[in-house]
Structure 1
């Protein structure tokens, strides 16, 4: 499995969670507890240290924070400090958690990534550097993890987010809530006009000149009769993404000449939710508010704070490998 993106999800679709995956390895040196209890076994033994305690984090909870620390930061092991202890129940193995993940360069202190992510507690396919932020901490907590380069992307860095090889990191995670199933509402008013071109041509989507919808909504343009997409399944689609704010197409598979394949939980939350329950052969259009896309902070991502529209044609589905 690609250690940066799950199953080749395009970067313009990939949720932060897809950047956290280590494939079949945990990517870190921290060992899980050996107790027989399933929840305890998922808890990582990560202690606070001088480096993690020395990071000052500011900003509203569940939004893009800032972090101040001495650079260059040089870490020899994982350290985790609970900067804000929430008053909710402790997260448990198997729970899917809505979180906000923010990554900072240990060399420069620069923010490299900040966006919503959905993480599963105890998921060993996630790098320990990220997993430490959500494992067995109270809901409502803000955690600060300091990680050596070896605990993330095998020390090779990640070009897509600007992380250099052998660069240590600081990771701030806001543990917001247990994820409830997200289901788009029916889109009945101010639905964009869609014109499909000839084979090999990109379709045209014309947005109405009205304010962007504020809720996740979807309209099925043509219902397929193939297999049904399940949660976490691998899906192959053609798609076109448009920003309601600018009216511009920011990404699409049509011009690349081939469909894209990814898992429904390896893309932004609103996009994945639109696919689950649909059949192969379906054509649909979905509007995604910022909170289900790249977050509400325009400074945290190129598409942050923007309402997005996706035209999607589902071509195939299969259980995730």
Structure 2
């Protein structure tokens, strides 16, 4: 099969490698244009573009699939297009360009969590099980018939990065199997069934911690926002990033946002919530790198201002 692969972030690279290793003729990749990265804002190719360059595969850079991009895709004369986290919509006019259409690997159990951030929302909602599906792209948002499904248990400690990493690996195999089945006619799409839900792209606001919420809700919010866009709070009017937390069920006397720091060589840093406390593991004070919460606490203890620490 002549395959066009569409994807942008690192999680999509796993599927690109899987298809190449399984012998598919990936004639080109479609990925988003180079973007500024880091504090120095250096223009950098997407992970998929970088990997395609290493593999010697033709690269089509496009943030949207306009007429010109559609013409380039049509000229490839592909049998099928496989899409994994490309980051842009495929217009209706482009859906019929590949002979067998566009097959999307989506990281949820559709119709649950249609949209751009299914893994993050699944964690924030407290789902016990999620998974991945391959389905046919059509005019509606993630509404097409499903070809294959896999499931994955969500651990309470899972961050979005952890869970997405596992789904990227298992999903890449599912995508390869789906394309093989479509090539032979052994796979048939099944209409989606059940109640739908939507997961819009997360913004910085979605990472803001509400310390008045119960500890379980806060933990899910932090895990779902890690690593992107990142969980954060405020201290003295400045943004303060927070890494994943663990329950501190033995402490329920703190007010929401109040920070308790124990002494000793390994200080314990606990924050009050709307229920019991949560213990911090990693923090990033303003203008600094992410650090161990105990190291940050030792600095607070040394300054003698421990009684004044509270997150807003």
TM-score (normalised: structure 2):
0.25
Report which structure shows greater RCO (CA 8 Å, sep ≥6): 1
Larger radius of gyration: 2
Q: Which has the higher helix share?
A: 2
**TM-score using structure 1 length:** 0.25
